[in-house]
Amino acid sequence: MDAIRVRGSQKPLTGSVRISGAKNAALPILCATLLSDGASRLRNVPKLRDIETTAALLRFLGRDVKVDAPEVHVAAGADVRPEAPYELVKQMRASVLVLGPLVARFGRAKVSLPGGCAIGARPIDQHLKGLEAMGCTIKIERGYVIAEGPGGGGRLRGSEVYFDLPTVTGTENLMMAAALAKGRTTLVNCAREPEVEELGRILNKMGCEVSGAGTDVIHVTGSERGALEPFDHAIIPDRIEAGTYLVAACVNDGSDVVLQGVELGDLEALVLKMRAAGIKIEAEGQNVRVRRDGPLRPANVTTAPHPGFPTDMQAQFLMLMCLAKGESVISETIFENRFMHVPELQRMGASIVVRGNTAVVQGVPKLYGAQVMATDLRASASLVLAGLVAEDETEVRRVYHLDRGYEHMEEKLRGLGADIERVKGAFD
Ligand code: EPU
């Protein structure tokens, strides 16, 4: 397995970096192609392992998929096999996003339960409850969810669903299921993430009626035509990749970086917290200039569903607060096990105490390079960012986590002047 080697320096980062398309928008949109028969084209798709995994899953299901980054073309194949096997689902939890479209389109689906993952248990009860409300029969057999439309494979019925908590992929799965259901579906207490809004735009392009995507109540009127239209669409920029580079640009004092292709409005909570920490962030159209010229102030954050502070930025922001002058309190409310970067950052000299879902961070004058282990996607990013400022060399192992969600991270950081390289080889 590869590792990433970073030699930290006090040298500021400068220059500009282009932000890629949003992974978490591309994944549900690729799954939405199951609702149509024609040839769809998705543009601005990031070159990532999760995209390859989704392509492999769609191929397994019988679709004809060509990945030619930054474009992906999907067309209907000869036959559909509405079954997502464990081998593919275990590589990527978002594979569960095929459940809604498969059962809506083909009347049945067999999808492996994703199981737990490094950051938490992550159940899918809300997805299943919603499908049942739409007339599905759900059985769990030998680790698989087996869903069948009403009367043994019939068309789903529009319904009213209240989510007990806002879930991003749960909201997306039920929007796609409702897209071919008979009548109108109302989803209440929905996730409001920009990626959910983007899926709403796609479903409208595909010919069903969606309103309210991006708010907590979404209405979907299913198409009467049995299948939706294909589409051609360029996906929105990745707000979490953008947020990660916002933080990267602040680890070294004196940095001055322009991020190209950013929707700053999707990052308000992070931007406000970073400004409170003393960072200068200015929008210039779809470019964002970020500068640090002085010490960092501490800041407290509590993660929350959008528009709250994103859990996917917690590890990177916590790392930044390791360098602030004073104490910051970081609370994680979305996933129960999302502080795995903490022991690794401690090995680099960070001063952090975790109690339950709260980390108390005392800023230190300096971090020190070390060999560290990536544990999940965003934790990996925080370790790379720590390496940018740490004295001497940091080696981040298990970077396959990083490759799931960051396109060419080492090349992008090198473009800003960082001393970073990928080391191919047999690291465990
Ligand atoms: N939850 C339930 N029951 C459900 C569904 C969710 O209890 O049926 C709980 C989860 O366990 C969690 C909370 O609800 O405590 C929110 O989870 P959510 O379902 O919103 O997460 P997700 O849809 O599985 C997406 C992103 C994650 C991101 C979270 C939160 C995709 C493909 N994944 O996951 O992204 O952290 O929303 O914003 O959109 C990442 O990109 O690194 C990543 C993990």
Q: How far apart are CA 409 and CA 201, in angstroms?
A: 29
What mean pLDDT, rounded, does the chain reach?
95
| Ligand 1 atom with minimal separation from the 336 CA | 15
Same domain, 267 and 336: yes
Counting other chains too, the contacts that 363-366 makes at CB distance below 8 Å and 24 or more residues apart are 363/296, 363/298, 363/321, 363/322, 363/323, 363/324, 363/325, 363/326, 363/327, 363/328, 364/322, 364/323, 366/390, 366/391
Nearest Cα residue to 27 out of 51, 59, 58: 51
Tell me how many domains the chain contains. Answer: 2
Distance 66 CA to ligand 1 centre (A): 28
Distance 172 CA to ligand 1 centre (A): 11
* Confidence at 119, pLDDT banded by 50, 70, 90: confident
Ligand 1 pocket (Cβ < 6 Å) reads 24, 27, 93-94, 120, 122-127, 165, 167-170, 191, 195, 311-312, 334-335, 377-378, 405
How confident is the model over 148-174, as pLDDT tens digits? Answer: 999 999 999 999 999 999 999 999 999
Residue 267 included in any domain: yes
Q: How far apart are CA 123 and CA 109, in angstroms?
A: 18
- Span 282-294, average pLDDT: 93
Same domain, 194 and 251: no
Full domain range(s) for residue 309: 3-19+238-423
Same domain, 219 and 261: no
Residue 181 included in any domain: yes
- Span 16-41, average pLDDT: 97
Final residue belonging to a domain, choices 234, 252, 283:
234
Same domain, 219 and 270: no
- Please tell me the least confidently modeled range out of 86-90, 101-105, 160-164, 278-282: 86-90
Same domain, 113 and 59: yes
* Confidence at 138, pLDDT banded by 50, 70, 90: very high
| Ligand 1 atom with minimal separation from the 126 CA | 8
The vertex-32 CA angle with 28 and 33, nearest 5°, equals 125
Given the residues 31, 117, 136, 190, the one annotated as active site: 117
Same domain, 13 and 135: no
| Ligand 1 atom with minimal separation from the 334 CA | 15
How confident is the model over 226-244, as pLDDT tens digits? Answer: 999 999 999 999 999 999 9
Final residue belonging to a domain, choices 234, 259, 276:
234
- Please tell me the least confidently modeled range out of 18-32, 85-99, 236-250: 85-99
Pairing between strand 287-291 and 256-260?
A: antiparallel
The reported pTM is 0.97
Q: What CATH number should be reported for the domain holding residue 96? A: 3.65.10.10
* Confidence at 350, pLDDT banded by 50, 70, 90: very high
Same domain, 303 and 205: no
Residue 265 CB neighbour total at 10 angstroms:
11
Final residue belonging to a domain, choices 215, 234, 253:
234
Same domain, 227 and 311: no
Better pLDDT: 158 or 1: 158
* Confidence at 116, pLDDT banded by 50, 70, 90: low
Contacts of 171 (CB under 8 A, 6+ apart): 163, 187, 190, 191, 196, 218
190 is catalytic: no
Same domain, 35 and 7: no
Same domain, 352 and 415: yes
Distance 169 CA to ligand 1 centre (A): 6
Same domain, 244 and 211: no
Residue 428 included in any domain: no
Q: How far apart are CA 102 and CA 131, in angstroms?
A: 12
Q: What is the pLDDT of residue 20?
A: 98
Q: How far apart are CA 218 and CA 350, in angstroms?
A: 43
Q: What is the pLDDT of residue 153?
A: 95
**Interhelix angle for 377-389 vs 239-248, to 10°?**
20
Q: What percent of the chain has pLDDT over 70?
A: 99
Q: Is the pLDDT of residue 426 over 70?
A: no
Same domain, 202 and 243: no
